[in-house]
Structure 1
Amino acid sequence: MIQIIAVLCNLSSPANCHEQTVTTSDFADVSMQSCLMGAPQLADWMKLHPSERLAGWRCVIGTQDGRGA
């Protein structure tokens, strides 16, 4: 399983950034290559977070263990 970890920054406070695991059914079968290329579904997912800016993302095989990067 490939997970996408998005780095999101608050639009009203750009220095306030955090990581969030992207979890939707759209990403259920994302490949590592698709993830590394920016997974087109990521743009649609960002529409659900209008107060945040996508600063970056990373692809993780398996599950996120809760530790920061």
Structure 2
Amino acid sequence: MLILLSVCLLSQPAQCHEDRIPMAYEGTSPFACLRHAQSALAVWQEAHPDLHVARWRCAARGTLPKDL
């Protein structure tokens, strides 16, 4: 599973891009991704203090999501 993020610069909120957080476990349900996403997002946010997570969602690896 992946967590797909839409992130924006804090200094320029109109500048946004997409990022991905690969989850360490494979073959789990979307519910498991949702359950573990909050802690993964907190770790990601701590490592990227200049960015703000505008929205996110879980997606299966190997799929090409159309958008957030």
Is the structural similarity TM-score above 0.5?
yes
Aligned residues: 64
Amino-acid identity (%): 34
1:28 matches 2:24: yes
Q: Structure 2, unaligned stretches of length 5 or more?
A: none
- Give TM-score scaled by structure 1 length: 0.73
Name segments (4+ residues, structure 1) moved above 3 Å: none
Q: Structure 1, unaligned stretches of length 5 or more?
A: none
Higher helix residue share = 2
- Give TM-score scaled by structure 2 length: 0.73
Give the 5 Å matches for 1:1-69. Answer: 2-23=1-22, 27-29=23-25, 31=28, 32-37=30-35, 39=37, 40-63=39-62, 65=64, 69=67
